[in-house]
Amino acid sequence: MKRRIVALSALACFMLLMIQPVLAQGGAASLVGSWELTLVPNLPPGPPAIEIPGLANFTSDGGAVATGSAILVGTGGLTSTSTLSGPTPAIGNWNAGGPVGDAAFKLVSIITNADGTLFATRTLQALVTPGSGGSSFTGSYSYTIVNTAGTTIASGSGTISGSLIPHFLPPA
């Protein structure tokens, strides 16, 4: 009987540890789902605002993947003697529970030279506040592009908004 209680207790603890990340992401600031994004860089200043469209998916365990026009931010004045490929889709993570119910995410993509070697990595970080109902968010973002020597070659910031893509419900 003692073994059974110990085994059941261990199983219960294991199950709590396994679901903890899901519970942590499922709070009021949950980003779980697929989103249409709009980023507006702070530069160049003044109208017309340059909108950068994108798509992102946030999973219940804190994973994130995104893609978009210039992979969420422009090239920031990058120059190179070789032809660069476009950046890859961005991969990263997100979490909820900031000081005022905010959510944060970080996405990383790579930029390669024409021969396939790594030229730079682009890191985008955002802090967003979900709207009421959980189908939208607004916030701010910043990004840096760092070459293989570790030198920041471009950076910027702006505002970001997102709209949840509704689930498709097939006809009954």
| Cα(69)–Cα(168) distance, integer angstroms | 25
Q: What pLDDT, in 10s, does the model give residues 62-109?
A: 999 999 876 444 444 455 445 677 668 999 999 987 666 699 999 999
Domains and CATH numbers, the chain: 29-164 (2.40.128)
Q: What pLDDT, in 10s, does the model give residues 19-49?
A: 333 334 444 478 999 999 999 998 766 677 7
The model carries a pTM of 0.74
What is the model's pLDDT at position 116? Answer: 86
